[in-house]
Structure formats: C-alpha cells, structure tokens
Chain A
Amino acid sequence: MNLYNNFFFVAFPYVAVIMFLIGTIYRYRATKFKYSSIASQFLETRRLYWGSVPFHWGIIFLFFGHLTAFLVPRYVLLWNQQPLRLAILEITAFVAGILTFLGLINLFYRRLSNPRIKKVTNYADIILEILLLTEIFFGLWVAYAYRWGSSWFAVVIAPYLKSIFEFNPQTDAIVMLPLVVQLHIIFAFLILLLIPFTRLVHLLVFPLSYLWRPYQKVIWNWNRKKIRNPKMGWTIHKPQNN
C-alpha cells in the first residue's frame, strides 16, 4: 500500500511535471507548426459548435476554479462560510462539469462518426478524449457523492499540491481519501503528463493577442460560390497557403 501511495502521490506527480516541462519545451522547439489544437473547424462546423463551445466554457471555469482553490484556499473557505454562497459555487461548478462532460461526449462522437474528422484523427486524440471523459466523470462523481468539494479541496488537496511544489510531499491526508478522489488526482497528473504530446498543447499558446489585434480582411480572387469537385484538377488557382 505504501508503495502504491508513494508511486501515485509522490513519484508520479514529479514525473508528470518534469515530462510536462521538458516535453513542452522540446515540442515547441522541434515541431513548432504542430504546436496547436490542429483545428478541424474547416472540416465540420455544426456539431463542433455543440461540442466545443460547452466543453470550453465548462473546462475553463473548472480549470480556474481548481487553480483558485489551490492558490488561495483561505479565500475559498471565506466565500463558502455562508451556506448560500457555498451552494451557488457548488451548483455553478456542477453545471460547468456537466457542460464539459456533454460537450466532450459530443466532440468524441463527432470525431468517431464524421468521415472527414476521422481522417485527421490519431490515436493520441482518442486516448486523450477517453482520459478527459474519465477525469470529468470522476470529478462529477466526487462532486455528487462527496459534496462540498470546494471546501474540503482547500483543506485537504491544496496543502498536498503545495507540498509537492515545495518538494516536501505530504500524502497523509491524500491516502485516506476515497478511491474515486484519488483516481481524479492521478488522472489529472496523467493528463498533465500528456499535454506536450497531444493537441492539448494549444492551451499554452492561446492566441490572446486576437482579442485586441485589428480585423483582417480576407479577399478571394475567384468565385467562392462555385462548388468545386475536389477530385478535379485546379482550373482557377492552386491554393498557395500550404
């Protein structure tokens, strides 16, 4: 049991963080043009909207929620001091969890069912989506079965994560947690480890500058309404952008 605990809650987090750091730097230097989400919006748009938008709204809320509870646990506890505020936070987080889960199911279905998307899918995408689905499922399970996670995260998980970053891992409280909470933590580190090797790298190169850069005017110099048979040769212009 000690071996299991030491591996998953001491060694593995460090392996994940180191792999994340080295892998990220290596991939950015070695394959800079693949350092993106490898968007498939040009291939399919309708289902993407109902998958990608709820997924991203949910995951961004959850990511920053977990980050806040880790960085300033005291203030989360202060917020939760009034039961009404605690309920509002928990309900919002649970809604975000469901949005993320449903959005990801939609994206996964799209990836497996749409022939155009299947063409640009690799094993890493499938593995990553299954891992994310499992992780979010565990998260929802924890939130439902062991309620007020926002409060006990601040008391139990935040000190553990802090101890990891202080190079003095304290796992006493973690090893006493229910199995599903432990699995949620282990899967989180596994996903962190996989970030550099999957399309998840895009979260590190979010194009924030798009928010303030001027609009770009795109000019097409052929008839855009004309439907082109992709099997025919180019009669107008061969695309020059790739």
Chain B
Amino acid sequence: MCKNFLVILICFYSLTVSLNAQNQGDQLFLQRCKVCHTIGDGKLIGPDLANIQNRRTKEWIIKFVQSSQSLIKSGDSVAVAVFNQHNKVVMPDQDLNANQIKSIIEFIAINSPDANNPSQKTPAQIFSPALVTNLDIERGRKIFDGTSRLTNNGPSCISCHNVNYAGMFNGGLLAIDLTGAFTRLGAAGIDGILRNPPFPSMVNGFGSSPLTDEEVKSLLAFLYETNKKSALQFSSLQLQFTLLLGIVVGLNIVLIVLLIRWHSVKKYSTNLR
C-alpha cells in the first residue's frame, strides 16, 4: 500500500515537473541569456538570437549552451566560427537540462520577428495600450469564446484555455490559463504564438487555418484588458455549480426512466412467478 502510494506520488511529481518545464522558457531567458543576447535587437556581447531555431538544430544549441568550450575543442566548425566571430569571448557553461534549453528555444522562436517579412509590421508592433477600444475588446472576447466564427475556421480559444473575465463563459483546462498572459508574454509573445504557434496542439488547430492579423489584434486587446483587470477577477464558481446541477438533473432523469422500465422488466424466471 505504502509502496503504491509512493509510486503514485513519484508519477504525479514527474508529471508536474515535466509540465512546469514547458513554461519556464521566458524566466530562464531573462535569468540566463538576456545579459548577453537579444531577440531581434542586435548583437550585445553574444549574437542576436532571433530565429536561432531556423539557423541551428536543437541538438547543436543544447550542446553549445551546456558547454560551448567542449564543442569548440571537439573541432565543431560552426562552434569555432561563432567563437571567432564574437571576439573569442567564452560563453560560460550553463547548468541547464535539455528540456530547459528547449523551452528557451521555444521562447526565442515565439518572440522572434517574422523571418520572411522583417519589414512588415506585426499586430504586436502596431499594438498600443492607448489605442485599445471597447470594440476591439468585445471583438476579442467573442473570438476567444467562439461566438464569433474565425475567418479560416480555426477552433475557438475557449476549447483549451480559460480566462477570468466578468461575464465570460469559463474556458477549457487542457492548456495554461491566459488571464495573466499579457504580463508573462507581452504583446510580441502572444502575437508570435498566435501567428506561428510553437505548440503541436495549436499547430493542429491553426496550422492550416491561421488567424488573420485583425483577429490577432482583437485578441491582443482582449488579453490586455483581461490582464489589466486580473486582480479584480475571481475564478467563477457559477459554471461549476451549473455543470454539477446539470449532471444531477441528468442522472435523475435517467433514474426515473430506468424505474419506469423496471416495472415491465421480467424479474424472475417463469417457474418462480
């Protein structure tokens, strides 16, 4: 019994750890990389990392981050060239595991400018809190909860995400809650995720049915507003209560039907009646 409990605990722990690892790219980038690197703002001590995922393989990046000098000493020509280009400044070894580095790469990917159209302004670049109108917010809310159909027939955000926003139908719980997304990711981060989704589930939903720039703009406005009011919003218990009530009513209806049928059901074999 004790052993089983321990196994269950370990399973839950590993699950939690692996799920947390997916969301720590932004923090890790700020703590470990931002001192020497930018995403799209040019070279600092180290190179600009914008769209690094398109220039190097994940495996190579993981090796370089964990120990750049080992890679250089092994004779890797790309590593040697990068080292020479940046005045032979040694990048300190980072005590990060592969999953953590992958989460940083993901963060960089979603915050990088569009590699194909660097001159075209993205919704995030146009976005300004001062220009957010109530109409934008309302439009974004309807896109989020699905009452407005998306131009390219993508799924509504509510399928997987929740936000705490007054009068809003509660969203799904499969993916992360987006109430404070604006603080965590900023306009550029949200815009990047919406237009170039890095998560496989979102690729399934929006890969062939992308959001339009107008829809992204409305969603940015709505998420900005949600974030701004997040301190005043509480998770609604009303929906849970309604769902519970619905389930109890449904079960009672079925029970009544079963009881009605019970009268006409043969309960004993013929010779026992």
Which of A's residues lie within 8 Å of B, judged by CB?
42, 45-46, 49-50, 53-54, 57, 74, 77, 80-83, 86-88, 90-92, 94-95, 98-99, 145-149, 151-152, 154-156, 159, 172-173, 176-179, 224-228
Contacts and interface: CB of A to CB of B under 8 A. Distances in A.
A226 B258 contact: no
A163 to B, nearest CB: 10
Contact of B271 (A45, A49, A225): A225
Interface string B127-150: 000000000000000000111010
Contacts of A91: 243, 246-247, 250
B109 to A, nearest CB: 15
B153 interface: yes
Interface in B149-181: 149, 153, 155-156, 158-160, 169-174
B251 A151 contact: no
Given A77-B159, A176-B199, A95 B147 contact: no
A57 B250 CA distance: 13
Contacts of A155: 155, 159-160, 201, 204-205
B261 interface: yes
Interface in B246-273: 246-247, 250-251, 254, 258, 261-262, 265-273
B247 A172 contact: no
A147 B247 CA distance: 14
A179 B15 contact: yes
B155 A147 contact: no
Contacts of A146: 172-174
A50 B258 contact: yes
A50 to B, nearest CB: 7
Contacts of A152: 159-160, 172, 174, 201
B193 interface: no
Contacts of B44: none
B265 A45 contact: yes
A49 B155 CA distance: 41
B146 A57 contact: no
A81 B270 CA distance: 53
A147 B177 CA distance: 13
B200 interface: yes
B201 A173 contact: yes
A156 B172 contact: no
B199 A148 contact: no
A44 to B, nearest CB: 10
A95 B251 contact: yes
A83 B147 contact: yes
B271 A147 contact: no
Contacts of B200: 172-173, 176
B22 interface: yes
Contact of A81 (B147, B172, B254, B258): B147
B146 A83 contact: yes
Contact of B169 (A53, A83, A179, A226): A83
B271 A226 contact: yes
- Give the most central of A81, A98, A227: most B CB within 10 Å: A81
A45 B267 CA distance: 6
Nearest to A145: B173
A120 to B, nearest CB: 16
B6 interface: no
Given A49-B265, A80-B146, A94-B247, A54 B159 contact: no
A57 B270 CA distance: 27
Contacts of B124: none
A57 B257 CA distance: 12
Contact of B174 (A54, A74, A81, A148): A148
A42 B269 CA distance: 7
B203 interface: yes
B58 to A, nearest CB: 13
Given A83-B147, A91-B246, A228 B204 contact: no
Contacts of B159: 77, 80, 148, 151-152, 154-155
Given A74-B153, A148-B171, A176 B250 contact: no
Nearest to B162: A147
B254 A99 contact: yes
Given A146-B174, A172-B203, A227 B270 contact: no
B250 A54 contact: no
Interface string B16-51: 000100100000000000000000000000000000
Given A94-B247, A156-B201, A151 B265 contact: no
